[in-house]
């Protein structure tokens, strides 16, 4: 089907791609980037049956065949025929994008594509990661979110929604993003300097039972593993650094490390149900598509709070203030 793009979120993975860091994952340039796409169905092939022209949709970025074992297990992001809209095939920093029917999630009534485009990757990724460990976030535990950016600010809210009463701590070097974390219901917010000590202080020396790292630098990997309580779990979402941990410490403290790759289609569908019920705030700012390079530079400088969304000139999508 052909989707008329109304909004495309700008993600740190776009920067990784431009910098050539995604080549080991088979992502090469030139490519039309844009993997957080919302829009309206503009045209469909003869066999399409689940959506019609003009339906508002999000594009689930992993291509999934539906036939391989990973797909049948509901792990579409590990599909044997893996492709990714906006990374391995052309994406939504454009007026139109072409996707298979399996790739769209129809939006719940009253939800505008431009307002939720970042959920297509940021939301689904945060949801997949938090859902996997939410059972650990029980009363009496402390869950730390490292990095309250585009993905992290959704993850923080999901810990609140899917967790079961853990103290939720947001960590970010940027004061605006710390304020965002506080506004979204974090029980505590911390600067990222000396954060291991700060988390130990906050927990009477015990440390964090759960750390979700939405940044993924050498620094956050060291902080995240360094602040874990005995029996704690370190969950990696952001990537790029090296995780270096003595196995004796991992075994002696029974630490777990898990990693997360996007999510599956149903994760995205479930995020949209939560969003439609008003349970999630997605902080976005819109920019004209032609400003893409300025927006990428702004993201690189850490000057985006929440998610920047590119809007094509031709879009009749509702503009946000
Ligand atoms: Zn992304
Ligand atoms: Zn498959």
Going from the Cα of 218 to the center of ligand 2, the distance in angstroms, rounded, reads 33
Going from the Cα of 83 to the center of ligand 2, the distance in angstroms, rounded, reads 10
What is the enclosing helix (H) or strand (E) of 178? helix 175-183
Q: Which ligand is nearest to the CA of 76?
A: 2
Residue 190, SS3 per DSSP:
strand
Tens-digit pLDDT profile for residues 32-49? 999 999 999 999 999 999
Q: Which ligand is nearest to the CA of 121?
A: 1
Which residues have beta carbons under 5 A from ligand 2 (an ion)?
A: 65, 68, 71, 79
Tens-digit pLDDT profile for residues 185-238? 999 999 999 999 999 999 999 999 999 999 999 999 999 999 999 999 999 999
Tens-digit pLDDT profile for residues 4-30? 999 999 999 999 999 998 998 889 999
Two structure tokens written together for 11: 């993600």
Going from the Cα of 3 to the center of ligand 1, the distance in angstroms, rounded, reads 19
Q: How much is the pLDDT for 71?
A: 96
Q: How much is the pLDDT for 164?
A: 82
User: Can you give the pTM of this predicted structure?
Assistant: 0.93
Q: How much is the pLDDT for 25?
A: 85
- Contacts of 128-132 with C-beta under 8 Å, sequence gap 24+, read 128/260, 128/261, 128/262, 128/263, 128/264, 128/267, 129/155, 129/212, 129/235, 129/237, 129/260, 129/263, 130/155, 130/158, 130/159, 130/162, 130/163, 130/212, 131/158, 131/162, 131/267, 132/235, 132/258, 132/260
Burial of 108 (C-beta count, 10 Å sphere; 0-12/13-18/19+): middle
Q: Which ligand is nearest to the CA of 10?
A: 1
Going from the Cα of 130 to the center of ligand 1, the distance in angstroms, rounded, reads 16
Q: Is the pLDDT score of 263 beyond 60?
A: yes
Q: Which ligand is nearest to the CA of 33?
A: 1
Q: Is the pLDDT score of 319 beyond 50?
A: no
Q: Which ligand is nearest to the CA of 299?
A: 1
Tell me the C-alpha distance between 182 and 160, whole Å. Answer: 12
Tens-digit pLDDT profile for residues 49-92? 999 999 999 999 999 999 999 999 999 999 999 999 999 999 99
- What CA–CA distances, in Å, run from 17 to 20, 33, 76, 92? 5, 9, 22, 15
What is the per-residue DSSP string for 18-31?
HTTTTGGGT--SS-
Q: Which ligand is nearest to the CA of 78?
A: 2
Task: Phi first, then psi: give them for residue 38, nearest 5 degrees.
Answer: -125, 145
Going from the Cα of 248 to the center of ligand 1, the distance in angstroms, rounded, reads 34
Q: Which ligand is nearest to the CA of 118?
A: 1
């Amino acid at each position: 089907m052909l989707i008329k793009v109304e909004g495309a979120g700008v993600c740190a993975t776009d920067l990784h791609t431009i910098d050539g860091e995604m080549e080991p994952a088979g992502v090469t340039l030139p490519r039309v980037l844009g993997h957080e796409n919302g829009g309206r169905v503009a045209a469909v092939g003869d066999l399409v049956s689940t959506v019609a022209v003009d339906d508002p949709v999000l594009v689930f970025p992993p291509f999934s065949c539906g036939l391989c074992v990973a797909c049948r297990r509901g792990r579409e992001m590990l599909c044997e025929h893996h492709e990714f809209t906006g990374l391995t095939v052309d994406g939504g920093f454009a007026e139109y994008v072409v996707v298979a029917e399996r790739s769209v999630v129809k939006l719940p009534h009253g939800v505008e594509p431009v307002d939720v485009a970042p959920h297509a990757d940021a939301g689904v990724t945060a949801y997949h990661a938090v859902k996997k460990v939410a059972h650990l976030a029980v009363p009496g535990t402390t869950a730390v979110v490292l990095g309250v950016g585009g993905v992290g600010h959704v993850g923080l809210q999901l810990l609140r929604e899917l967790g079961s009463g853990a103290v939720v701590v947001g960590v970010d070097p940027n004061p605006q993003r710390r304020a965002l974390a506080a506004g979204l219901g974090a029980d505590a917010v911390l600067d990222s300097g000396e954060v291991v000590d700060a988390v130990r202080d906050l927990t009477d020396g015990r440390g964090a039972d759960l750390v979700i790292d939405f940044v993924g630098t050498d620094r956050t990997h060291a902080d995240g593993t360094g602040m874990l309580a005995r029996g704690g779990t370190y969950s990696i979402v952001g990537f790029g650094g090296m995780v270096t941990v003595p196995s004796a410490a991992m075994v002696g403290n029974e630490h777990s490390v898990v990693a997360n790759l996007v999510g599956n289609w149903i994760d995205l569908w479930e995020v949209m149900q939560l969003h439609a019920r008003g349970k999630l705030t997605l902080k976005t700012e819109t920019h004209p598509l032609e400003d893409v390079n300025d927006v990428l530079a702004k993201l690189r400088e850490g000057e985006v709070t929440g998610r920047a969304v590119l809007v094509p000139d031709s879009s009749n999508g509702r503009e946000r203030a």
